[in-house]
Amino acid sequence: MENNTFGTNALLSAGFHSGDILTPAQAARVLSVRISTLANWRCAKRYDLHYLKVGSRIYYPADALIAFLDRQTR
């Protein structure tokens, strides 16, 4: 039996899976924040939320979102 963490459950409930690469809009939906909030977090380096930058495009690995949510869970 697989032990799903909070981050994994949040990702699955949004329709994504571990290993997926998400756009900022998709990541914002998983995290329940606005796209502009993600942009602010990237710019200010406020949180340790890993992302990929390909040219001018930003992507979020699903595993990074899982890890981020799990670190935020208290």
Q: Where are the domains of the chain?
A: 20-72
Dihedral of CA 31/49/61/25: which sign?
positive
Q: Of all helices (H) and strands (E), which one includes residue 1?
A: none
Could you give the 3-state DSSP secondary structure of residue 5? coil
H or E, element range at 57: strand 57-61
Tokens of 42: 């990237």
Q: What's the predicted TM-score (pTM) here? A: 0.85
pLDDT tens track for 8-48? 888 888 888 888 999 999 999 999 999 999 999 999 988 88
